[in-house]
Amino acid sequence: MHASIDLADSAHAIVARLAGRGAAAVALSGGVDSAVVAWLAHAALGERAVAITLTGPAVSLSEEEAATGAARTIGIRHLTVPVDPLTSRSYRANASDRCYFCRQMESGTILEWGTSHGIEQYLDGIHHDDLGEERPGLQAMNEAGFQHPLAEAGWGKAEVRRWAAQVGLPNWDRPSNACLASRIQHGTPIAPESLLQVSRAEALLEARGFRRVRVRIDPEGARVEVDPGEVARLLAEPTASAVRHELLDLGFARVRLDPRGYGALRDA
């Protein structure tokens, strides 16, 4: 967004557009982007807006809890709907376009629900900063007819977080996340056991107070990433040994603590 555009005026314009397009379903993850869209949709449509959180083996419990907390704060009607992308052979193969097949299934699930409940518009949290990246998942959402109100208004991540903080969303500063399958190296088939391992491992680290965690699986075992500012705490004893032992107990053959910390460019 250009600095000359007033954020409040822009939000009001988004609300006005959504209000004129009919009942809406918002794909609500645990992230701040979709939470802001849910807030805007509820402001525009009230009871004619519903937030749908898809749950399944690739979605961590913390993501579901964050989505539920955001929906409760907003006051929007909230549904959790199970979907299992592992039923797709193309998804399980874990090629570089894996996200396309996941989003194709997820968007189809929301469309199926919406068709029988009078939904006229389908919304997601894609914003302007996402548009310059190669995103097979975005292609699938476009094909399904989802609208991107944040991107349409020119909002980037900075605007999203600023608005979320202004309206009091609990996840306004929550680190960006990706589905659990993103922790598994492309070309390595995705198995439900691996997703469960990752989910449990990251939950253990989050319980230790690490704010952003990635437990990545590669041929050598598990590699643990935390935010660069928290690497020193991860590597310090007794935490380092305790983390290694906890993850080895989950069945990982080897556990490495990445001294570089989390890097967004490595998050596929």
Render pLDDT for 138-156 as a digit per residue (tens, 0 to 9).
999 999 999 999 999 999 9
Structure confidence at residue 268 as a pLDDT band (50, 70, 90): very low
Q: Is the pLDDT of residue 9 over 80?
A: yes
Average pLDDT over residues 221-250: 97
- Residue 100 φ then ψ, to 5°: -60, -45
Report pTM. 0.93
Q: Is the pLDDT of residue 124 over 60?
A: yes
Question: Which SS3 state, helix, strand or coil, does residue 55 take?
Answer: strand
Average pLDDT over residues 231-258: 97
Whether residues 90 and 147 fall in one domain: yes
Whether residues 142 and 241 fall in one domain: no
Tell me if 227 sits within 8 A of 259, measured CB to CB. Answer: no
Q: Is the pLDDT of residue 3 over 80?
A: no
| pLDDT computed for residue 132 by the predictor | 75
Rounded to an integer, what distance in angstroms lies between the CA atom of residue 159 and that of residue 95? Answer: 33
| pLDDT computed for residue 218 by the predictor | 85
Whether residues 101 and 135 fall in one domain: yes
When mean pLDDT is compared across 126-140, 171-185, 192-206, 232-246, the lowest value belongs to: 126-140
Whether residues 69 and 24 fall in one domain: yes
| pLDDT computed for residue 264 by the predictor | 45
Tell me if 57 sits within 8 A of 86, measured CB to CB. Answer: yes
Give start and end residues of each alpha helix (H) in 134-238: 136-143, 149-152, 157-166, 192-207, 231-235
| pLDDT computed for residue 220 by the predictor | 86
Domain span at 236 = 180-266
Q: Is the pLDDT of residue 94 over 70?
A: yes
Query: Residue 204: inside a domain, yes or no?
Result: yes
Query: Which tops the pLDDT comparison, 266 or 35?
Result: 35
Structure confidence at residue 201 as a pLDDT band (50, 70, 90): very high
In the 8-state DSSP scheme, what is residue 17?
H
Distances (CA, A) of 89 to 93, 102, 191, 231: 6, 11, 11, 37
Whether residues 38 and 144 fall in one domain: yes
**Residue among 150, 145, 146, 149 nearest 129 (CA):** 150
Rounded to an integer, what distance in angstroms lies between the CA atom of residue 197 and that of residue 48? Answer: 39
Structure confidence at residue 157 as a pLDDT band (50, 70, 90): very high
Query: Residue 137: inside a domain, yes or no?
Result: yes
Structure confidence at residue 6 as a pLDDT band (50, 70, 90): confident
**Burial zone of 159 (CB within 10 Å; 0-12 exposed, 13-18 middle, 19+ buried):** buried
For residue 238, whether the previous peptide bond is cis, meaning omega lies within 30 degrees of 0, is yes
Whether residues 94 and 219 fall in one domain: no
| pLDDT computed for residue 5 by the predictor | 67
CATH of the domain at 223: 3.30.70
Whether residues 51 and 18 fall in one domain: yes
The number of folded domains in the chain is 2
